């Protein structure tokens, strides 16, 4: 986004997004094949979705993993909403330096997700999620301390955001995978419900993160820490393995 604004105004960003959207649609239609066998396909519709959604939401483990993944999203969108203010306005980073840091954090999240994928089958997925939640909790606690007593120094913000994104890379994708595995008969519906809750959470989080205005970063830090704790509750309480008599990966 910062790079795009270097050669155009704010409208240019939306034109680029529109172009990427068209490219994604064309790729999905032309390049990506349909993987669902014909005998398992149906016409869809709101009634079919409503019935399937009721079934997946009736599975406590599914709900637990949705909470695990979506609560972790709270910290990420608190970061997305407030990082320009924290890093540029409060700590004086240039737009270029901010863009580099933002890209580095996105890279950290991507690498964490790839590492988690490589560990699949060798390390318990729940254990990987726990490590990610610990990272997010440490990041949130550190930034809350920095926000309350030190006015959010640059080094605290940089390290906190970096650790937060590593934790997010370990939690969100794995939480979504375990949610789908909890209701294998409804992969599409489970993905739709997860996406709906995830992005609704993101939309609600962004304005809350800025409630403190330009005077404090405490709301952002509270959201990061609170999201990590709620995610942990979803994993250990709602999605605990013995709730249905089945084991989790």
pLDDT digits (tens, 9 = 90+) for 115-157: 998 998 889 999 999 999 999 999 999 999 999 999 999 999 9
> 28 and 52: one domain?
no
The pLDDT of residue 242 is above 80: no
Residue 166 — pLDDT band, cuts 50, 70, 90?
very high
Does residue 121 lie within any of the structural domains? yes
Mean pLDDT of the chain: 89
Q: Give me the domain span that covers residue 73.
A: 46-242
> 57 and 17: one domain?
no
Closest Cα to residue 135, out of 106, 161, 154, 158?
161
> 85 and 127: one domain?
yes
- Asked whether the beta carbons of 216 and 147 are under 8 A apart, the reply is yes
Does residue 67 lie within any of the structural domains? yes
Closest Cα to residue 77, out of 116, 111, 109, 113?
109
- Asked whether the beta carbons of 175 and 189 are under 8 A apart, the reply is no
How far is residue 207's CA from residue 169's CA, in Å, rounded to a whole number? Answer: 23
How far is residue 20's CA from residue 14's CA, in Å, rounded to a whole number? Answer: 10
> 3 and 51: one domain?
no
- Asked whether the beta carbons of 12 and 4 are under 8 A apart, the reply is yes
Torsion-angle region of residue 247: left (phi > 0), alpha (psi -120 to 50) or beta?
beta
Q: According to the 3-state scheme, what is the secondary structure of 184-208? A: CCCHHHHHHHHHHHHHHHHHHHHHH
Does residue 38 lie within any of the structural domains? no
Q: What is the dihedral of CA 192, 197, 198, 202, to 10 degrees?
A: 140
This prediction's pTM = 0.85
- Asked whether the beta carbons of 218 and 147 are under 8 A apart, the reply is yes
Residue 223 — pLDDT band, cuts 50, 70, 90?
very high
| CATH code (residue 170) | 1.20.1250.20
Say how many domains are in the chain.
2
Does residue 39 lie within any of the structural domains? no
pLDDT tens profile 32-91: 888 878 877 777 777 778 888 899 999 999 999 999 999 999 999 999 999 999 999 999
3-class state of residue 123 by DSSP: strand
Mean pLDDT within 175-185? 91
Does residue 178 lie within any of the structural domains? yes
């Amino acid at each position: 986004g910062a790079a795009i604004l270097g050669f155009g105004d704010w409208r240019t960003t939306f034109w680029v997004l529109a172009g990427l959207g068209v490219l994604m649609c064309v790729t999905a239609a032309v390049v990506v094949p349909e993987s669902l066998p014909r005998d398992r396909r149906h016409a869809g519709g709101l009634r079919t979705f409503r019935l399937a959604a009721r079934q997946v939401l009736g599975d406590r483990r599914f709900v637990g993993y949705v909470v695990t993944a979506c609560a972790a999203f709270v910290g990420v969108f608190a970061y997305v909403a407030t990082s320009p203010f924290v890093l540029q306005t409060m700590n004086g980073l240039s737009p270029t330096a901010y863009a580099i840091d933002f890209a580095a954090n996105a890279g950290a999240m991507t690498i964490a997700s790839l590492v988690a994928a490589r560990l699949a089958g060798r390390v318990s997925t729940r254990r990987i999620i726990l490590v990610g939640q610990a990272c997010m909790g440490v990041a949130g606690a550190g930034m809350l301390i920095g926000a309350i007593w030190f006015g959010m120094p640059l080094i605290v913000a940089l390290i906190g955001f970096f650790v937060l994104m590593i934790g997010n890379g370990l939690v969100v994708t794995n939480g979504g995978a375990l949610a789908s595995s909890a209701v294998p008969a409804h992969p599409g519906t489970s993905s739709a419900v997860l996406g709906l809750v995830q992005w609704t959470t993101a939309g609600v989080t962004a304005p809350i993160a800025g409630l403190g205005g330009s005077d404090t970063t405490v709301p952002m830090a509270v959201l990061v820490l609170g999201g990590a704790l709620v995610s942990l509750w979803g994993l250990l309480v709602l999605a605990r393995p013995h709730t249905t008599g089945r084991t989790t990966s």
